[in-house]
């Protein structure tokens, strides 16, 4: 059974940093691209960032470029999102998603999400 | 950036009725489009990928069609668990984008 479990969310002040983690199990982690998708309170889904299977290529949405960094550790079956210079508009539930292919695709499995609140 | 526009924003229907949801892309995405269902308080679930293929475990009442810029998700007979929000997403190019969602509510 595929499982994705996010952690690391919480309350942080504007300008602060957080590191989200996603522990994966039930599939060959190193074969698939992985992504972060967020959802602000009462809003729709917003793609944040994707990393390919080998970890050498990443893509990020314009609102987070230069502030957020996606990475993976295949030895630990884990995905990460380092979030720096956080802003109020980054407040959202952050989902980890396994994508259908090695370089991208669609999210066929999702975690339960971890909430991030940016507020003073 | 490819913009996906979903319509209608809200669809009010009764259980057993047919639902037809639309997703229009600002430029061609070929058939690289997916549909998700999100129930309140839950993560999204992939329903349809590459416009017309049902994902694993998705019942036959869900079907997808379209190519280029116009896509449709059809639910042939609404079950209680289908009253939720539906999103489309393309994988044609970076950045990936989602549509704004269609809420299917009980009439």
DSSP for A7-31, please give it: E--EEE-TT--EEEEEEEESS-GGG
DSSP for A44-81, please give it: -EEEEEEE-TTSS-EEE-GGGTTTEEEEEETTTTEEEE
Please state, rounded to an integer, the average pLDDT across all residues of chain A. 97
Q: Give the pLDDT band of residue A18 (cuts 50, 70, 90).
A: very high
Using a CB-CB cut-off of 8 Å, the residues of chain B touching A110 are 43-45
Q: Is A45's CB within 8 Å of B87's CB? A: yes
Q: Give the pLDDT band of residue A26 (cuts 50, 70, 90).
A: very high
Q: Give the pLDDT band of residue A52 (cuts 50, 70, 90).
A: very high
Q: Give the pLDDT band of residue A16 (cuts 50, 70, 90).
A: very high
SS3 assignment, position B100? coil
pLDDT of residue A119: 97
Residues of chain B scoring pLDDT < 70: none
pLDDT of residue A107: 96
pLDDT digits (tens, 9 = 90+) for A74-91: 999 999 999 999 999 999
Q: Give the pLDDT band of residue A64 (cuts 50, 70, 90).
A: very high
Q: Which residues contact A42 (CB under 8 A, 6 or more apart)?
A: none
Tell me the C-alpha to C-alpha distance, in Å, between residue B7 and each of A32, B20, B38, B54.
32, 9, 16, 21
By the 10 Å C-beta count (0-12 exposed, 13-18 middle, 19+ buried), A24 is classed as buried
Q: Is A110's CB within 8 Å of B94's CB? A: no
Interface residues on A facing B, Cβ-Cβ cutoff 8 A = 35, 37, 44-47, 50, 59, 61-62, 95, 100, 104-108, 110-113
pLDDT of residue B47: 98
């Amino acid at each position: 059974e595929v499982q994705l479990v996010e952690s690391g969310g919480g309350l942080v002040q504007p300008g602060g940093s957080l590191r989200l983690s996603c522990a994966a199990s039930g599939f060959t982690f190193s074969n698939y691209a992985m992504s972060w998708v967020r959802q602000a309170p009462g809003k729709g889904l917003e793609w944040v960032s994707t990393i390919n299977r080998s970890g050498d290529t990443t893509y990020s949405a314009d609102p987070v470029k230069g502030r957020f960094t996606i990475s993976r550790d295949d030895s630990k079956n884990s995905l990460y999102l380092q979030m720096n210079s956080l802003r109020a508009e980054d407040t959202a539930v952050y989902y980890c998603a396994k994508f259908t292919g090695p370089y991208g695709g669609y999210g066929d499995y999702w975690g339960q999400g971890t909430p991030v609140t940016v507020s003073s | 950036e490819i913009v996906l526009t979903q319509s209608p924003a809200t669809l009010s229907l009764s259980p057993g009725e047919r639902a037809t949801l639309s997703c229009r892309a600002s430029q061609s995405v070929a058939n690289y489009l997916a549909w998700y269902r999100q129930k309140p308080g839950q993560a999204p679930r992939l329903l349809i990928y590459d416009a017309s293929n049902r994902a694993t475990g998705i019942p036959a009442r869900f079907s997808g069609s379209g190519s280029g810029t116009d896509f449709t998700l059809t639910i042939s007979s609404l079950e209680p668990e289908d009253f939720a929000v539906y999103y489309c997403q393309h994988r044609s190019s970076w950045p990936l984008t989602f549509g704004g969602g269609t809420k299917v509510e009980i009439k």
